Amino acid sequence: MQDAPTTLDVLDALATPVLQVGGDGRIRLANEAAARWLRVGRKRLLGLPLAALEREGQAVAGALAQSDGNPHLLRRVQLAFPGSNEALFADLWLSPIADGAWCEAHPVDEFPGADPSELLPIALSASLKGLAHELRNPLAGIKGAAQLLARRSDTDARELTGLIESEVERLAGLVDRLLTPAPARPFEPVNIHLVLERVLRLAESEAGWATQLQRDYDPSLPEFAGDADRLTQAVWNLVRNAIEAGAGSVQLRTRAEHHVRIGEDAHALALRLEIVDDGRGVSPDLAEQVFLPLVSGRAEGTGLGLALAQQVAREHRGTLGFRSRPGHTVFTLLLPLEPVA
C-alpha cells in the first residue's frame, strides 16, 4: 500500500511557484517550481524571509504585516534571490493561514499596457479605413495573378501560389472587418500547431535561408476554442518582428501549463506559446510602451503589429508579455485552454 502523498508532493506536481511562510515571515516550504523559477536550490530558500526576495519596495512585507485575514494580490513585484543580478517579475497572491501564509507567484514577462482598442484614437481609425480602401484593389490583383500562376506551374510552385491565395483571403477578411466592423466570430476548434505551421510557412517565404526556424512543440496540447485567423495574424506579427530585428534563429515553443492564474481568473489548463529569437531585442527606451499603437523601434514600422497581437490575446482571455535583452528575446502568449463545445 502506497503512502498518502505529502503536502510537498502535491505542491511539486504544480507548475506554479508556491511558497509557504510561517508567522515570522520566513519561508518554511517551497515547491520545485518555485526553486526552479528563482534559479536556486530549494534548501537555500528555507528559512529566508519572503520579503528578502523583493528587490524594490516593501509591498511583500506590508502585505504580510496586515492582519485582516484576506488574500492580497500584489501586481508585478520585482523579485530575485539575494545576491542574484537577474530580476524576475510576478503577480503574487498572499493567502493567510492560521500560522503564516501561502504565496503563489504567477510569473509575468510583460511590460503591461492598456488595451490597444481603448488607446487607438478616432483619427487613426479613420486612417485605417482609408488604408483598407486602398488595399482592396491590389489584393484582388494579387489573388488573380496567383490563380493564373497556379494553372501554369509545377507542384512546388502551386503550393506556394496556394499559400499566396490563402493569405490574400485572410488579408481581405481583415480589410473587410476594418471597413465594416462586425461582431466577433464565434470561436471554433483550433489546433495551435496548425496555426504555427501556417506562420512558419509565411516566415520561410519571407526570410528564406536567412533565418533558422525551429519547432519545439508539446504534442499533448488539446484543441481549444478560438479564432485561428486572428491567432495566425498575432503570431505572424511576432515572428516577423523577430526577423526584422535581425534574428538568425526563431523558435516556436508550446507547453501545457496546469493550474495557472491569468489576470484575475484561475484555469485548470493553459497554453504557453513562446516566440524566442536571437535578434537585437527591444530597446529599453521602448519597453514600457511597446504594446501601444504607433510605437515602433523602426523608422519604417507602423507600430500596429504588437498592439494587434496583444488585442488578440485579450480576445482569447489571455495575456501577451515579453522579456528581452540583446541576443535573447522571448514573447510569451498565455491562453486558457477552454474545452471545445
Which cell numbers hold the place of 208? Answer: 528564406
Which cell numbers hold the place of 300? Answer: 519604417
Q: What is the pLDDT of residue 117?
A: 46
Question: What residues in the chain have per-residue pLDDT under 50?
Answer: 1, 110, 112-117, 119-124, 126-127, 299-301
Question: Domains (ranges, CATH) in the chain?
Answer: 7-107 (3.30.450.20), 116-336 (3.30.565.10)
Going by DSSP bridges, is the β-strand pair 88-97/188-190 parallel, antiparallel, or unpaired? unpaired
Whole-prediction pTM: 0.57
For residue 325, what is the DSSP state? E
Q: Is 88 exposed, middle or buried (0-12, 13-18, 19+ CB in 10 A)?
A: buried
For residue 116, what is the DSSP state? H
Q: Is 203 exposed, middle or buried (0-12, 13-18, 19+ CB in 10 A)?
A: buried
Angle at 277 between CA 276 and CA 278, to 5 degrees: 140
Residue 227 contacts residue 315 (beta carbons within 8 Å): yes
Polymer length in residues for the chain? 341
Residue 266 contacts residue 260 (beta carbons within 8 Å): yes
Alpha helices in 13-105 (DSSP H): 32-38, 42-45, 59-65
Q: What is the pLDDT of residues 154-187, one digit of tens each?
A: 666 667 677 777 777 777 666 665 555 555 678 8
Task: For residues 48 and 40, give the distance between their C-alpha atoms in angstroms, rounded to a whole number.
Answer: 12
Angle at 27 between CA 26 and CA 33, to 5 degrees: 160
CB neighbours of residue 189 within 10 Å: 13
Beta strands in 153-223 (DSSP E): 188-190, 212-216
Q: What is the pLDDT of residue 137?
A: 54
Q: What is the pLDDT of residue 298?
A: 52
Instruction: Write the CA distances from 251 to 192, 233, 275, 325, integer angstroms.
Output: 15, 17, 6, 16
Residue 90 contacts residue 17 (beta carbons within 8 Å): yes
Q: What is the pLDDT of residue 232?
A: 92
Residue 324 contacts residue 330 (beta carbons within 8 Å): yes
Going by DSSP bridges, is the β-strand pair 249-262/212-216 parallel, antiparallel, or unpaired? parallel
The partner residues of 73 in beta bridges, in order of sequence, read: 93
